[in-house]
Structure 1
Amino acid sequence: MGYESRTQAIYQITDREPIPVGAASRLEDLWAVDVFSLSKMKQCLPKAVFKSLKKTIEAGEQLDVSIADTVASAMKDWAISKGASYYAHVFYPMTNATAEKHDGFISTQSDGSAIAEFAGKLLVQGEPDGSSFPNGGIRSTFEARGYTAWDVTSPAYLMETDNGVTLCIPTIFVSWTGEALDKKTPLLRSIGAMNKAATRVLKLLGYHDIAPVNSSCGAEQEYFLVDSLFANSRPDLLLAGRTLFGKPPAKGQQFDDHYFGAIPERVQVFMQDVEKKMYRLGIPAKTRHNEVAPGQFEIAPFFEAANVASDHQQLTMTLLRQTAKKHGFVCLLHEKPFAGINGSGKHVNWSVGNSTQGNLLDPGDSPHENIQFLVFCAAVIRGVHKYGPLMRAVIANASNDHRLGANEAPPAIMSVYLGSQLEELFNKISQGELDGQYIQSGKLDFGVETLPSLSKDAGDRNRTSPFAFTGNRFEFRAVGSGQSVSGPLIALNTMLADSLSAIGDLLEAELGKGTKLNDAVVAVIKETMQKHSAVIFGGDGYSAEWHRMAVEERGLANLPTTADALPVLKEKYIEELFEKTGVLSPVELESRFEVYAEQYVLSIEVEAKLVIDIAKTAIYPAAMRHLADIAATVAGLEEMGINLDQDNIKTVAKLTNSLTTKVSKLASALAKDDFDTIEEHMKYSATILRSLMDDVRADVDALESEVADDLWPLPTYQEMLFIK
């Protein structure tokens, strides 16, 4: 560390040429070439085996284990033909990360020879060590057995690195006692619960040919890129993912000139490399652009089935990090890596539908006549009103707490934005005033003769809403950049399943009384909206008035920190929700609270330790060297009869003394360990430790403005954000 490393880094970065990624390939030549897709299965599997497997993938039928050997053999041959010698069961433990256990295809023979072999039992089931993954008390430390099981609904793929090719098989991960230790198992269960409830409601609406209903997801991924030469000189970035110190540069994002601006050449080369890899893996990357903050960017895919989208999102994060290293960057997925400028989210665009009824959240041109849409949209509104605290809990972690409620992110109060047209429609249904007059879409007249008038939507968008309707889907804007989308999808699917079941009961009762279908639907929606419309809000979600109104008048929960939000998982009504839908047992739900609570505490403790270490070993010595240099200069000048203003010396001395005191106070607070409950420990971390860390930061950032630049040991915000 030190000024010399900073200057060397600047010279190397400014002289660096973008790494060539080769000539652009046609999409048709790249698309899903590394995926064992349905089309590849059809080519290499017997017709009967392929037909059986396709039923499992598309219709949700149980996998016929008798075909596993045939599928495994074909999968192995395909993978070996592409250079693979190992396979891996890939799973998603409760860490937000991806886990994988690699095994070779090698099988030794009695004569000393070796052959490549992959039996069906190895495809269907694996046995990684389950003791070292978070389990929240489900298993004792000495009880190690855990199982992975092939998720046939998500395609196998090849992961290629400079060191070789590996066949990756998406799986679930459960304990020896059967509880889910991962994020995929409850996601698959939530899809099943939602499908069951949605199918029942569609039958009540008069449909007979009903394909399986699934949720879809398109996750917009925001991220920062920092040159690795800078990042490697920042212990806080390397270990905590965010800068614990750093004064704001003179220019940040106040000019709004980075957003959608020209992408820096080196960054665009990186993006193209990422997209090439994504296309080979069948990940439908669609959009790339500069985000609002300097050094911040976004990539967004097309919608996919929720389970596949979740797997692809994990892959996307992996590819961003791996490819960034190749191009001399570090990709930061922390929600708030730099103070004072926008952080990064992962907007989860979520909808539900099937192949027979289409998108069930598409209002069409006449939403007031679309009873299918009205029923499903009302079910979503009810779910958010009843289970808004759950939505806050599933996006709760130490890093997202920095972002929620700031200018770039929605508040921690869960509400629904519908847009003026739909809000008016549901209000009229609630009040029984169906007069057929509703806000209609219009035309945009630009006042330019050469331009045609264009159509505009019936309602605007609201960037301050955590859960906004955006035309034919809801956008869950509060999800954090580094988080798995599985948690939010599990919550949304489960909430919808519960609401559809409740609405199904009401609709069944109305129809049982002889009420005509349209009248029954209106009656059910009217009752639902009268109970749950308090969650609908179309105004400024950042305003103090909304925060007051939401809590005091509408009874909505405001859970600003993870310490406030995670205990929701222990509430009885949340336990009942997951238990009756079959998504999580009480034991599995409690384990998730324990895991995420511990992760929260540990994250803040790691940051606190880093604050102490960097302040004592880097900042304090720099300040003392500055004082020594200035004091010697002042003394020498005074001998010559020249007197200088000593305000700088006094300011630095005062800040250094204050820093020493505050670091000692933080160290003492960090040593406390006599907590009766994990809830108490979380609250202490959220209030005491974070406050003391902020106090230390205030002195360090003030010192950065006073200490000579050639003595400052850390790469600055100005350097990290603007030098690419």
Structure 2
Amino acid sequence: MPNNVTENVSEIFGSKVFNSGVMRKRLPKHIYASLLKTMKEDLPLEENVAEVVANAMKDWALELGATHYTHWFQPMTGVTAEKHDSFISPTDDGKVIMEFSGKELIKGEPDASSFPSGGLRATFEARGYTAWDPTSYAFIKGSTLCIPTIFCSYSGEVLDKKTPLLRSMEALDTHARRVLKLFGKDVKKVTSTIGAEQEYFLIERDMYKKRKDLILTGRTLFGAKPPKGQEMETHYFGRIRGRVANYMAELDRELWSLGIASKTRHNEVAPAQHEMAPIFTNTNVATDNNQLTMEFMQRVAYRHDLACLLHEKPFEGVNGSGKHNNFSMSTDTGENLLTPGDNPVENKQFLLFLCATIEAVYKYSEMLRISVANAGNDHRLGANEAPPAIVSVFLGEQLTAALKSIETGKPVTAAKDLVMELGVKSLPKFIIDATDRNRTSPFAFTGNKFEYRMLGSNQSISGPNITLNTIVADVLSDYADILEKADNFDSALDALLQKSVTENKNVVFNGNNYSEEWVEEAARRGLPNLKTTPEALSEFTSEKNIGLFDRHNIFTPTEMESRQTILLEEYSKTINIEALTMLSLAKREISPAVLTYTKEVIDTLSAKKACGATIDVSAETTLAERLSTLFGEFIKSIDNLEKTLAAAEECDSAQTEANYFCEKVIPAMNEVRVTADSLEEIVAEKYWPFPTYEDILFYV
């Protein structure tokens, strides 16, 4: 890696992206203006534009060493998909020329039969379409030009995560502009913006390769608590080790070249855990960027003989990994609609958008919980490291007081800037923020945005942001309906704000979300507590949720049912793979290791007994008995898991099967693990068949 990487950042950034700067240089002015209008104002693409853009895109890609192109899309698997085609076109003289047409840019035809459809498509119905998304820049990965696209079936059903995201952004834009027009602002576009902080683990690749559970499931299915975990709290924001720093530097370089504004990097709470945070961008681009970020985290780790773990809970007993989804709304004029201003109490426009977001969270809290539900995240949510499954909103003292004033009609004292005095003359003074941060809140206001902290590390941010955009759009639509009909806008606005604050205040909570008292208080407030993925997904197709997404043209009722099926099946398949992997490791690796060590202990016991009655053999006897007892329990737990798993085949629906895996299979797996971890603590290290937590988490 060049030593002058910091000097070249401006040259590196976006160097592999067909962005506005490249378009301006390579496209005719009228073509560039037309495409820019499509990107910025969501206008239909003019027919003559695609052919010109395709040719310019091809020439640019060839200059950067590309030989192939692909329609890069995001099916319901949660990862990206791509089919590569070369630019070559044979000529009559036995040579080739490099060609790329507007038709090839706009449309592709991948096989749709092998992607999840939730019953929307029969297996034999193979045709699907990808269509260019001109609002997200094409980029080069390796030797391939990647063109972001949507993905749908031959008959038009949505089979991807991008199409509904774009629809939800249009819904938010439509109704936010309706509201802003009432405030006298005629903006051309409102878009949600996202900054997706990404947590991850880095471990030695050699250790990773020796753990089949990590390879097959992404998490350790066995592992006794190490002598040292995260108790000393020295890793968080600690010195970044040289090897990790080199990894982070190369990762930044790769991301910058793809136009991803990687801004912050630091050690996280758990040993071997880290975080990367990008600068905000519009939600569609942020979603594409986060998919690329996860891919390159793992690619770059491989080059450094490391493995990057993105599972929500790779190690029991230490913090898992999440994704902090920082959400706001901005206009094309650059105004952040969630900026309070100097006096939030008097900023009625801000208060309206704030109340709309709070009301949306309260009204559709089940849907927000559903949007982050998966098998991995169930291990993390509510485990004193992440928000609980109860959805609430943190506002801080100043905004809570402002809303209280709206509710009661009593004035609130305007907040004054407070200066931090540290008692040392040489230290600078600075203004204290209006509110503290609440790291336990699932949905916290943090200055000019909401931080949605329930997302799992491994999941696409598309689903949660489809939900956020749609629920906020829904409430803004209601607000606009009321205010557009009002004879007196100001009095109608005041009445609307008071009604919203009064009816939705139960969702606001500024305390400790980890406490048992909050669980009881939330129940009294009527806030749902959907603790597991199957429990949450059972609410997916409620009448309220189907109406929400159908009303805003995000999903049809049939598409909602298909997604519920896909998510339930994904949950069951995940647990099934974990259980089968656990059985394989238990029977083929742990059991032989325990038996070998037990034989050594018994052989030592027999040898000492043979030496005469005066030799004390109590230690060996106790150890042999303990090993035999635990191993007997271990075998029984294995047998029980096998029987429990086999019975899952009798389930007659996706929901019933997911419930069974949650309620029966997971407890059976836990029994196997508890006994195995107890055995790990007494079996000699040289006999244990794979690296332990202390081996994995504390590498140099």
Which bracket does the TM-score occupy, shorter chain normalised?
A: over 0.9
Aligned to 1:721: 697
Picking from 311, 335, 351, the partner of 1:334 is: 311
Cα displacement (A) at 1:522: 1.6
User: 1:518 deviation in Å?
Assistant: 3.3
User: Which residue number corresponds to residue 6 of structure 1?
Assistant: none
Contact 2:161 2:462 in 1 (8 A): yes
Q: Paired residue for 2:166, among 184, 188, 208?
A: 188
| SS in structure 1 at match of 2:559 | helix
- Aligned partner (choices 625, 633, 636) of residue 607 of structure 2: 636
Counterparts of 2:643 and 2:178, CA distance in 1: 59
Question: Could you say which residue in structure 2 is the equivalent of 1:3?
Answer: none
Residues 117 and 159 in structure 2, CA contact (< 8 A), matched pair in contact too: yes
TM superposition shift of 1:621:
0.7
SS in 2 for 1:459: coil
Contact 2:190 2:331 (8 Å CA) reproduced: yes
Q: Which residue of 2 aligns with 1:650?
A: 625
Aligned pairs for 1:707-718 within 5 A: 707-718=683-694
- Letter of the structure 1 residue corresponding to residue 677 of structure 2: D
Query: Which amino acid is the alignment partner of residue 675 of structure 2?
Result: D
Structure 1 residue aligned with 2:490: 518
Is the partner of 1:99 in helix, strand or coil? coil
- The equivalent residue for 2:576 is 605
Match for residue 419 of structure 1?
Answer: 396
List runs of 5+ in structure 2 lacking aligned partners.
none
CA drift of 1:112 comes to: 2.9
Corresponding residue of 1:234: 211
**Which amino acid is the alignment partner of residue 568 of structure 2?**
A
Matched letter for residue 138 of structure 1: L
1:438 Cα deviation from its structure 2 partner: 3.8
How many angstroms apart in 1 are the aligned matches of 2:209 and 2:503?
54
Report whether the alignment pairs 1:669 with 2:650.
no
- Answer yes or no: is the 8 Å Cα contact 2:538–2:655 preserved in 1: yes
Give the drift of 1:23: 4.6
What CA distance in whole angstroms lies between the structure 2 residues aligned with 1:406 and 1:534?
23
Contact 1:389 1:565 in 2 (8 A): yes
Q: Is the contact between residue 193 and residue 581 of structure 1 (CA under 8 Å) also seen in structure 2? A: yes
* Matches of 2:496 and 2:90, distance apart in 1: 66
1:529 matched residue in structure 2: 501
Residue 65 of structure 1: how far off its partner (Å): 2.5
2:84 matched to 1:102?
A: yes
Say if 1:21 and 1:269, in contact at 8 Å, map to a contact too: no
**What residue is the counterpart of 1:252 in the other structure?**
229
RMSD: 1.1
Moved >3 Å (runs of 4+):
20-23, 438-441
The answer to whether the 8 Å contact 2:200/2:274 transfers is yes
Given candidates 547, 562, 573, the residue that maps to 1:591 is: 562
- Per the alignment, residue 550 of structure 1 pairs with 522
Correspondence for 1:93 among 75, 80, 87: 75
For residue 570 of structure 1, give the secondary structure of its aligned residue in structure 2.
Answer: coil
Is the partner of 1:261 in helix, strand or coil? Answer: coil
Indicate if the aligned counterparts of 1:421 and 1:440 stay in contact, CA closer than 8 A: no
Q: Aligned equivalents of 1:225 and 1:638: distance in 2?
A: 49
In the TM superposition, what is the alpha-carbon distance from 1:436 to its structure 2 partner?
4.1
Q: Distance in 1 between matches of 2:158 and 2:46?
A: 22
Matched residues in 1 for 2:472 and 2:209: separation? 45
CA distance in 2, matches of 1:134, 1:432: 53
Match of 2:156 among 163, 178, 193: 178
Tell me, yes or no, if structure 1 residue 31 matches structure 2 residue 16: no
SS in 2 for 1:236: helix
Does the residue aligned with 1:359 lie in a helix, a strand or coil? coil
Deviation (angstroms), 1:28 = 1.1
The reply on whether 1:485 has 2:435 as its aligned counterpart is no
1:509-556 deviation digits (Å, cap 9, x = unpaired): 4x32xx2x33322211111112111111111111111111112x2111
Structure 2 distance, partners of 1:563, 1:470, is 31
| Mapping 1:47-446, distance limit 5 Å | 47-160=29-142, 165-207=143-185, 209-356=186-333, 358-433=335-410, 435-446=411-422
Q: Distance in 1 between matches of 2:689 and 2:196?
A: 38
> Does 1:701 pair with 2:683?
no
* 1:616 equivalent in alignment to 2:587: yes
Aligned-partner SS, 1:65: coil
Please say if residues 210 and 357 of structure 1, whose CA atoms lie closer than 8 Å, have aligned partners that are also in contact: no
Instruction: Measure the CA separation in 1 of the matches of 2:188 and 2:338.
Output: 16
What one-letter code is carried by the residue in structure 1 that aligns with 2:659? K
| Deviation readout 1:236-277 (Å, 9 max, x if unpaired) | 000000000000111100010000001111111011011000
Q: Which amino acid aligns with 2:426?
A: T
Distance across 1 between alignment mates of 2:180 and 2:10:
38
8 Å Cα contact 1:388/1:414 also seen in 2: yes
Distance 1:141 1:22, change over 3 A: farther
CA contact (8 A) 1:21 1:273 kept: no
CA distance in 2, matches of 1:550, 1:663: 39
Aligned residue for 1:313, secondary structure, equals: helix
> In structure 1, what residue type is equivalent to 2:344?
P
Q: 1:357 to 1:117 in 2, by over 3 A?
A: closer
Q: How far does residue 644 in structure 1 lie from its aligned partner after superposition?
A: 1.7
TM-score w.r.t. length of structure 2 = 0.98
Query: SS in structure 1 opposite 2:539?
Result: helix
Q: Provide Cα deviations, 1:341-396, integer angstroms capped at 9, x if missing partner.
A: 00000000010011236000000111111111101000001100010000000100
**Amino acid paired to 1:604:** I
8 A contact 2:401–2:412 mirrored in 1: no
Match of residue 667 from structure 2: 691
Measure, in 1, the Cα distance between the counterparts of 2:408 and 2:547: 32
Shift of residue 95 of structure 1? Answer: 1.2
Aligned length: 694
TM-score for both structures, normalised by structure 1: 0.95
Q: Aligned to 1:84, what secondary structure does the other structure show?
A: coil
Q: Name the SS of the counterpart of 1:358 in structure 2.
A: coil
Percent same amino acid among aligned pairs? 46
Q: Report the alpha carbon displacement of residue 424 of structure 1 after superposing the two structures with TM.
A: 1.0
C-alpha separation in 2, matches of 1:257 and 1:211? 49
Q: Secondary structure at the match of 2:228?
A: coil
| Structure 1 CA distance for aligned equivalents of residues 77 and 501 of structure 2 | 38
1:527/1:671 CA distance change after superposition, 3 Å: same
Please give the per-residue CA displacement for 1:8-32, whole angstroms capped at 9, x wherever unaligned: xxxxxxxxxxxx6655252112110
Q: Distance in 2 between matches of 1:720 and 1:694?
A: 22
In 2, Cα distance between the equivalents of 1:23 and 1:202? Answer: 47
